[in-house]
A and B are shown apart, each in its own frame.
Chain A
Amino acid sequence: MLKKILMIAGVCFSLSATAQKTVYRSYNYIGVLAGESKPGYQMLTTHGLQLGTYFVGVGGGFDTYKEESFPVFVSAAKYLSRGKNDFFLNANAGTVFVSKHRPANWLGATTSETRPGLFGEMGLAYRLQLHAMKSGQGVLFGMYYSYKAYKEKLTTPMFCISPPCPNQYESLNFYLHRWAFKVGFVL
């Protein structure tokens, strides 16, 4: 029994000690997205906890590459050193909701419906702590590979001699690869 109590106490102590080092951080970026299609822009905000050189959090934002869309993701980062100005690796993974408002009867389709797809980013960023900033805060510069995918489902009623006529379905699948250059700040 005593052994169990000591173990629980140990775990609690350890967690308490860990909690003391955990810091809330908010990473906020704007970025330029360059790929095969017309360049787009991105605004992302990520909120989470930093523990030592590690950061985990959740984020969301706005992405205009190809189609306006709203990524939602989990984010993880690892600082390569402990200093005022550090490089860190960062990865985001989640889903993206596309906001597409097709005109009625666009390309002959009665309805056009976009379906969420995958969103993912991986890159290297640099935190630069300016004089007025507190420890851990800083201006950010990063370069990422960024991926966005979604589907657009088009429904078109087929002509038939004896209605109700069946619908014809067609899907357009978009798998978009781009480079993202980002600037921002961490608080």
Chain B
Amino acid sequence: MKALTKILLPVLAAFVLSGCLKDKMTRTYTIFTPVYKNKQDVLREVSSKPARSIGTPGKIYVYGNYLFVNEINKGVHVIDNSNPSNPVNKSFINIPGNLDIAVKGNTLFADLYRDMIALDISNPLAAHITSTSENVFPDRNSNSLVYFAIDTSTYLVDWIKKDTTVPYSDVFECSGCLAFNTAATSSASPIAGIAGSMSRFSVVNNYLYAVNINSLKSFDINNPASPVKVNDMPLRMGLETIYPFADKLFIGSTEGMFIYDISNPVSPHYLSGFSHARVCDPVITDGDYAYVTLRASTACGTAIKSQLNIIDIKQMNMPKLVGQYDMSNPYGLGKDGSLLWICDGRAGLKMYDATDPGAIKLKKTVAGIEPYDVIPYNGKLIVSAKEGIIQYDYSQPGQMTELSRLKKN
């Protein structure tokens, strides 16, 4: 009995004393504080500059012999691509906050933070603003999903990041929360120019279509220098990309692909949709099939598997899935004839024979690059990659020969 007491006493003591000990749990995260800049000061920064080397390439746009490359949040490189083996960087148009571009005639349409500007680029060395459309991309007033109501005389131009540590409780697990300081390639149908599949701008005849996170906006650009907003259709949340084909618009969103009829260009009319798990997805089409890359990422949804989906759209009002292929981390894609290219992130650039959409065959993988978007055009492939702008010749069956590389600095 005495021995038992000796043993049990410390156990009892341990449990009684356990109340004296407190676990400490902390959570370290980043606080984002918005930085504003006077709107007129920002607009004054829009100007042509001498050509400069590519830093962080974003979206690409082909117009005639010119290649326009977005430098993320900084502007547009104007590249004379008459000879894809030797592209010549002609100039850089400084456009703060720029992510998307489209061109018609001598007019370049570009987003500038939440606004859209039209620039006369008849002389790329002296581009100038001809008009400004306000608040076309209100989502640029946000970081992630939290919006800031800001003064219309300012732009939200940056965020100051600061790490902070606070007590953490298992009950309130809020990882992934952000904290804010509230103080195709249309090889089949080239229209104005050719945008990559990741584009949010599309020029179809005399209309410019733009998507922001939850709406489709139509602009009359009969006079490109002064676009006039003619429609602003609220759609579902999560719109990402826009791709024109004939008199249809294919819209990629985090929830699916939507087809809109633009035979009446002022009022796009919903035709059909194809839903999938919540993922990030650009879409292209060749008229018979739509090709959608689904990038599993929690920034877009909860799906955990990245895929390429091929959807039969011969009956536009009844899209039907015909093929699903596992991918690594796909972004943009492009198609020319039976060849299909997928920018599969770190897994490289993949070229498929898509003669049979139900059983596409991998023909070639270009490893060692991290491609983001692609435009196949006249046997030449223009790739926007982390490494810069790379061009390939794919005119020889099964071959991709590197022609040139504008390396990032």
Q: Which residues of B contact A183 (CB under 8 A)?
A: 7
Q: Which residues of B contact A176 (CB under 8 A)?
A: 23-24
Take A35-B21, A177-B23 as given contacts and tell me if A141 and B178 are in contact as well, using a CB distance cutoff of 8 Å: no
Q: How many interface residues does chain B have, given as a range?
A: 35 or more
Closest CB in chain B relative to A182 CB, distance in Å: 9
Closest CB in chain A relative to B162 CB, distance in Å: 13
- A158, B178: Cα distance in complex, Å: 9
Within 8 A of B (CB), among A128-187: 141, 143, 145, 154, 156-165, 168-181, 183
A170 touches B72 (CB 8 A): no
User: Of A108, A157, A162, A175, which contacts B72 at CB under 8 A?
Assistant: A162
Asked if A32 is at the interface of the complex by the 8 Å CB criterion, the answer is yes
Asked if A105 is at the interface of the complex by the 8 Å CB criterion, the answer is yes
**Nearest A-chain residue to B295, judged by Cβ:** A163
- A39, B14: Cα distance in complex, Å: 11
Q: Which residues of A contact B174 (CB under 8 A)?
A: 107
Q: Which residues of A contact B143 (CB under 8 A)?
A: 158
Asked if A37 is at the interface of the complex by the 8 Å CB criterion, the answer is yes
A35 touches B18 (CB 8 A): yes
- A158, B198: Cα distance in complex, Å: 17
- A140, B300: Cα distance in complex, Å: 56
B18 touches A179 (CB 8 A): yes
Take A35-B21, A162-B59, A179-B17 as given contacts and tell me if A157 and B27 are in contact as well, using a CB distance cutoff of 8 Å: no
**Nearest B-chain residue to A152, judged by Cβ:** B175
Residue of B6, B23, B213, B302 with most partner-chain A CB within 10 A: B23
- A35, B15: Cα distance in complex, Å: 8
- A159, B29: Cα distance in complex, Å: 16
B11 touches A32 (CB 8 A): yes
User: Of B14, B24, B178, B372, which contacts A143 at CB under 8 A?
Assistant: B14
Q: Which residues of B contact A164 (CB under 8 A)?
A: 331, 345, 370, 372, 386
Asked if B130 is at the interface of the complex by the 8 Å CB criterion, the answer is no
Closest CB in chain A relative to B72 CB, distance in Å: 6
User: Of B17, B21, B165, B300, which contacts A173 at CB under 8 A?
Assistant: B165
Q: Which residues of B contact A39 (CB under 8 A)?
A: 18
A168 touches B178 (CB 8 A): yes
Asked if A66 is at the interface of the complex by the 8 Å CB criterion, the answer is yes
A158 touches B299 (CB 8 A): yes
B280 touches A178 (CB 8 A): no
Q: Which residues of B contact A175 (CB under 8 A)?
A: 23-26
Q: Which residues of A contact B17 (CB under 8 A)?
A: 34, 179
Asked if A104 is at the interface of the complex by the 8 Å CB criterion, the answer is yes
User: Of B13, B175, B300, B331, which contacts A154 at CB under 8 A?
Assistant: B175
**Nearest B-chain residue to A174, judged by Cβ:** B25
User: Of B10, B23, B144, B145, which contacts A181 at CB under 8 A?
Assistant: B10
Within 8 A of A (CB), among B157-197: 165, 168, 173-178
Asked if B120 is at the interface of the complex by the 8 Å CB criterion, the answer is no
Q: Which residues of B contact A165 (CB under 8 A)?
A: 297, 299
B21 touches A163 (CB 8 A): no
Asked if B244 is at the interface of the complex by the 8 Å CB criterion, the answer is no
Q: Which residues of A contact B99 (CB under 8 A)?
A: 161-162
- A8, B168: Cα distance in complex, Å: 60
User: Of A34, A104, A162, A177, which contacts B22 at CB under 8 A?
Assistant: A177
Q: Which residues of A contact B200 (CB under 8 A)?
A: 161
A contact residues vs B (CB 8 Å cutoff): 32, 34-37, 39, 66, 104-110, 141, 143, 145, 154, 156-165, 168-181, 183
B contact residues vs A (CB 8 Å cutoff): 6-7, 10-11, 13-15, 17-19, 21-30, 58-59, 70, 72, 99-100, 137, 139-140, 143-145, 165, 168, 173-178, 198, 200, 213, 280, 297-300, 302, 304, 331, 345, 370, 372, 386
Further 9 A-B residue pairs, CB within 8 A, beyond A141-B7, A165-B297, A174-B24: A32-B11, A36-B19, A143-B13, A143-B14, A161-B140, A162-B58, A162-B72, A175-B24, A178-B23
Closest 5 CB pairs of A and B: A108-B176, A34-B18, A107-B175, A157-B299, A175-B24
Please list 24 pairs of residues, one from A and one from B, whose beta carbons are closer than 8 Å in the complex, sorted by A's number: A36-B19, A36-B23, A105-B302, A108-B176, A143-B14, A154-B175, A154-B176, A156-B299, A157-B298, A159-B144, A159-B145, A161-B200, A162-B72, A163-B198, A163-B372, A165-B299, A168-B30, A170-B29, A170-B30, A170-B175, A172-B175, A179-B15, A181-B10, A181-B14
